[in-house]
Amino acid sequence: MCQWLNDIGNALRQVYPGTYTNTHRDVVTLLKRVWSTAYSSIYLKQDADVNHVPHHKPDVILMDEDSDGEITWAQVHALTEVTRTPLTKN
């Protein structure tokens, strides 16, 4: 699943530029983000300034590619939960 989502991200990066000009006319370079399952068995820590963040192990998260080591919920840009059930014939 991560590979499929990352393939979509790579295709979008080829179509859209990696930089844009903000309202202050500064050129901003977008960080590359990747989907990862590296933290699916680890409870993510919450930041001290963030309240009511779930004590949860996310299945798949979107994070900055250059993130390494322990991350917190503030560094998670998106998440998805993966569930598998047997197929029914209906």
82 neighbors 23 (Cβ within 8 angstroms): no
How large a percentage of the chain has pLDDT more than 90? 16
Domain boundaries, the chain: 2-80
Number of H helices and E strands in the chain, helices first, is 1, 5
Give the model confidence (pLDDT) of 3-43 as tens digits: 999 999 888 888 887 788 889 999 888 888 999 988 888 77
Model pLDDT, residue 4 = 92
Model pLDDT, residue 88 = 76
- Helix, strand, coil abundance in the chain, percent, nearest 5: 20, 20, 60
Mean pLDDT of the chain: 82
Distance of CA 88 to the CA centre of its chain: 31
Give the model confidence (pLDDT) of 61-87 as tens digits: 999 998 877 788 888 889 888 777 887
Model pLDDT, residue 74 = 81
Instruction: Indicate whether 52 pLDDT > 60.
Output: no
Rounded to whole angstroms, the Cα distance separating 43 from 40 reads: 8
Provide long-range contacts, Cβ within 8 A and 24+ apart, for 9-12.
9/33, 9/34, 9/35
